[in-house]
């Protein structure tokens, strides 16, 4: 179980690093737009991301 969790964390970090390496200006513009969102909208986006990720993990079991 611990090995799978470490592997999953590594995969997340790899995927998170792709956009800043491939298109740093696009990544910076996206972050700037996200920082301008109201906190409630950021929370909703985070919740949607969490639920979608959870559903993907559950579908793989």
What is the H or E stretch that residue 16 is in? helix 2-22
Q: Is the pLDDT of residue 61 over 90?
A: no
Per-residue pLDDT tens over the stretch 10-50: 999 999 999 999 999 999 999 999 999 999 999 999 999 99
Tokens describing residue 2: 């611990």
pTM of the model: 0.72
* pLDDT, average across residues 1-13: 91
* pLDDT, average across residues 48-54: 95
pLDDT, position 57:
85
Q: How far apart are CA 54 and CA 50, in angstroms?
A: 6
């Amino acid at each position: 179980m611990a090995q799978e969790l470490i592997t999953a964390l590594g995969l997340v970090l790899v995927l998170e690093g792709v956009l800043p390496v491939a298109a740093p200006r696009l990544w910076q513009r996206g972050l700037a737009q996200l920082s301008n969102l109201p906190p409630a909208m950021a929370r909703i986006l985070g919740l949607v991301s969490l639920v979608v990720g959870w559903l993907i993990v559950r579908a793989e079991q």
